[in-house]
């Protein structure tokens, strides 16, 4: 039953994502010389779309984004996906790809610290003040990103365990492939509550509360340039732009802490 529910939710989200800019794009094409491709964790969707627009306005270089879970993007890069920059939601996937020779270690930078929130669809009338409220019988499904490959899912699981409620709610869990899918699950009302990134939580359909940062390992988000990028100079310039004062203002606007 849960597997069928999961497939149904994935289908609904796939349809909805067709109308958003924050969707996974095919990375098999050949970018132009005046264009770079950035593989970015889904929590960066809103912030990086704005950063990309600012960078294009400043330099004339178009930035094409490939959004998804950090683990799945890392796998694509390891298999030679034509990507210029990788912005992960944690350090681990970047460090692994540096060791394997896929990323340039000297370009690696922590660009932001992510935060997670407990979110509910505001049409449900549910009031949540803490993670313990998820035990309530009024909440029959809880969405989190898949912790096997999504850093925000890892943080969600860690927080639920720290709160001492994992065993109580684990049968209610619905897993999204990435954190943006989890947002869509809650936005549509198909799942009443879930744990998402603060950076994408400020949408009309959602009420949320911050989760205590002591409940999960800090989400130190790191980026690096891909070793075989055909646009090394531009890729390095974009990476520098993200951590520049202009980039930092945008990141902070979407709720990220800055290193």
Q: Are residues 152 and 119 in the same domain?
A: yes
For residue 6, pLDDT over 70 is answered with: no
Model confidence pLDDT, tens digit, residues 50-74: 999 999 999 999 999 999 999 999 9
Which pLDDT does position 33 carry in this prediction? Answer: 63
Which pLDDT does position 23 carry in this prediction? Answer: 57
Which of 148, 53, 115 is closest to 254 using CA atoms?
A: 115
Q: Are residues 100 and 135 in the same domain?
A: no
How far is the C-alpha of 229 from the C-alpha of 78, rounded, in Å? 13
How far is the C-alpha of 234 from the C-alpha of 250, rounded, in Å? 20
Model confidence pLDDT, tens digit, residues 179-204: 999 999 999 999 999 999 999 999 99
Q: 136 φ, ψ to 5°?
A: -50, 140
Q: Does residue 14 form part of some domain?
A: no
Say what the pTM is: 0.88
Structure tokens at 216: 């999960």
Give the CB-side neighbour count of residue 218, counting CA atoms within 13 A.
Answer: 11
Domain count for the chain: 2
Q: Are residues 167 and 197 in the same domain?
A: yes
**Reported confidence tier of residue 141, pLDDT bands at 50, 70, 90:** very high
- What is the DSSP-derived secondary structure letter of residue 23? S
**Reported confidence tier of residue 5, pLDDT bands at 50, 70, 90:** very low
Q: Which domain holds residue 161?
A: 114-215
Q: Does residue 47 form part of some domain?
A: yes
Residue 203: CATH number of its domain: 3.40.190.10
Q: Three-class SS of residue 253?
A: helix
* CA diameter of the chain: 55
Q: Are residues 106 and 223 in the same domain?
A: yes
Q: With contact defined as beta carbons under 8 Å apart, do 186 and 119 qualify? A: yes
Structure tokens at 32: 């132009």
Q: Are residues 155 and 177 in the same domain?
A: yes
For residue 31, pLDDT over 70 is answered with: no
Model confidence pLDDT, tens digit, residues 196-230: 999 999 999 999 999 999 999 999 999 999 999 99
The DSSP annotation for 130-163 comes to SGGGGGSTT---EEEE-TTT-HHHHHHHHHHHHT
């Amino acid at each position: 039953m849960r597997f069928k529910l999961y497939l149904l939710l994935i289908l609904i989200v796939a349809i909805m994502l067709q109308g958003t800019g924050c969707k996974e794009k095919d990375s098999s094409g050949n970018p132009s010389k005046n264009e770079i491709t950035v593989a970015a964790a889904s929590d960066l969707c809103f912030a990086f779309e704005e950063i990309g627009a600012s960078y294009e306005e400043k330099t004339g270089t178009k930035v094409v984004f490939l959004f998804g879970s950090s683990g799945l993007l890392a796998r694509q890069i390891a298999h030679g996906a034509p990507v210029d920059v990788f912005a992960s939601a944690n350090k681990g996937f970047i460090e692994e790809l540096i060791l394997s020779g896929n990323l340039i270690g000297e370009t690696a930078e922590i660009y932001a610290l992510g935060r997670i929130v407990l979110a509910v669809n505001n049409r449900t009338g549910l009031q949540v003040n803490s993670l313990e409220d998820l035990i309530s019988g009024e909440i029959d499904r809880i969405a989190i990103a898949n912790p096997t490959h999504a850093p925000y899912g890892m943080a969600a699981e860690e927080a639920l365990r720290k709160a001492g409620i994992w065993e109580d709610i684990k049968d209610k869990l619905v897993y999204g492939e990435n954190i943006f899918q989890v947002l869509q699950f809650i936005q549509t009302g198909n799942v009443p509550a879930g744990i998402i990134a603060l950076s994408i939580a400020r949408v009309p359909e959602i009420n949320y509360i911050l989760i205590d940062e002591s409940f999960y390992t800090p989400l130190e988000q790191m980026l690096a340039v891909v070793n075989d990028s055909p646009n090394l100079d531009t890729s390095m310039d974009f990476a520098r732009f993200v951590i520049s004062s202009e980039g930092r203002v945008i990141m902070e606007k979407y709720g990220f802490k800055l290193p």
